[in-house]
Amino acid sequence: MKIIIANWKMNVGVRESVALARGTLLTLRGRKLIPELVICPPFVALSEVRKVVARSAVALGAQNVSWAESGSYTGEISARMLQELGVTHAIIGHSERRSLLHETDEMVNKKVLHALASQLTPIVCVGETRQERQAGKTHEVVGQQLKAALLDVRLRVTDRLLIAYEPLSAIGSGEAASVPEIVETHTFIRSLLREFFGERVASAMQILYGGSVDGENAYGFLREQQVDGVLVGGGSVKINQFKDIVHAACEVLEAQQKV
Ligand code: PGA
């Protein structure tokens, strides 16, 4: 199975989100084999978007979640509040939150633990900067982020936790990472997950690529066995672009079925 996560960021209001959700549903029309689809609208649009995707194959995700259950956390949103709105997934540790809002590895870890305890599926984002890659530090940086994010995490085979590898230079830049770079890093991430959780759990976990995924490059990423899916930002709020990405995933699934 392949999975596509749409991260709408702070790019659409409630009305646009509803229209985009309708458009997203239409991308699946007429396709027999479809990827798993999770859309992550801004918080304020969740309840309206929920009405659109109810009883469809599209799941709802949040772009962030608090580590606390409730209390004096002005401006924060808890896992339980999200679940009340039908949310099943939460993006955690996105690089924009790490860099712009100073979210630390420790905060990311607390959020992951709380999300799992609340039966929300975490989508944990990791990724190195261009300078770190050029200095040959990708494994060191990504390894450190993963180790910190997954500290004290215990997973059973039935628990879900997704990893999104998003090199910072690729996010919103139009310069996606190359397929060999992605495959190599995903293989490294999988080996770490094996170390942390053992073969059975690690082999069931999904590792996604994110960063300037568009209608043209999506097929090339998704056809790789090491790429379980894509996390799409800019390309997910332009419905024609997103349609091409979804169709690329459908075509990969169809091609795999023939083998
Ligand atoms: P992008 O964003 O697709 O616009 O590069 C990806 C992300 O930030 O998750």
Task: Provide the residue-wise pLDDT of the chain in tens; the chain has 259 residues.
Answer: 999 999 999 999 999 999 999 999 999 999 999 999 999 999 999 999 999 999 999 999 999 999 999 999 999 999 999 999 999 999 999 999 999 999 999 999 999 999 999 999 999 999 999 999 999 999 999 999 999 999 999 998 889 999 999 999 999 999 999 999 999 999 999 999 999 999 999 999 999 999 999 999 999 999 999 999 999 999 999 999 999 999 999 999 999 988 7
Ligand 1 pocket, residues with Cβ under 6 angstroms: 7, 166, 171-172, 210-213, 231-235
200 token code pair: 């059975």
Q: Which residue of the set 94, 114, 186, 247 is catalytic?
A: 94
58: left (phi over 0), alpha (psi -120 to 50) or beta: beta
3 token code pair: 């999975």
Backbone angles phi, psi at 165, to 5 degrees: -90, 115
Domain span at residue 81 reads 3-66+75-258
- Establish whether 166 is a catalytic residue: yes
The CA 49 to ligand 1 mean position distance, Å, reads 21
How high is the pLDDT of residue 232? 98
How high is the pLDDT of residue 212? 98
Do the beta carbons of residue 65 and residue 92 sit within 8 Å? Answer: yes
Give 123-141 as a DSSP string.
EEEE---HHHHHTT-HHHH
The CA 248 to ligand 1 mean position distance, Å, reads 17
Q: What is the CATH number of the domain that holds 84?
A: 3.20.20.70
> Ligand 1, from 103, 232, 237: best to mutate by most atoms within 8 Å of Cβ?
232
- Establish whether 199 is a catalytic residue: no
210: left (phi over 0), alpha (psi -120 to 50) or beta: beta
14 token code pair: 């409630």
The CA 87 to ligand 1 mean position distance, Å, reads 20
CA 255 to chain centre: 24
The CA 200 to ligand 1 mean position distance, Å, reads 30
Other beta carbons less than 10 A from residue 135's beta carbon: 12
6 token code pair: 């749409």
User: Residue 95 CA: which ligand 1 atom is closest?
Assistant: 8
Number of domains comprising the chain:
1
